[in-house]
Amino acid sequence: MAKIAAIVVTDKQSVGGGAPIFIAKDQAEQEKLAFSLEKILDVAAHDLKNGMIILVDHSAES
């Protein structure tokens, strides 16, 4: 199963839980943060279409 490596949001209230959470000021910063994290962590960024971008490690095994 793939693993969520990080979550990038603009709205602090919308998340909580086990994965590292990064909070951006606005959408532009969110996009930049997600881009950097994608390259640094070697994981894929996915847009949940509710203002949240999650970074998922598809190579992680179970």
The residues that touch another protein, with contacts defined as CB under 8 A, are 31, 34-35, 38-39, 42-47, 49, 53-55, 58-59
Strand order in the sheet with 44-47: 21-23, 3-9, 52-57, 44-47
Interatomic CA distance for residues 50 and 41, integer angstroms: 23
Structure tokens at 1: 């199963």
Nearer to another protein, 11 or 35 (CB): 35
Task: Report the nearest approach of another protein to the CB of residue 11 (Å).
Answer: 17
Task: Report the nearest approach of another protein to the CB of residue 55 (Å).
Answer: 8
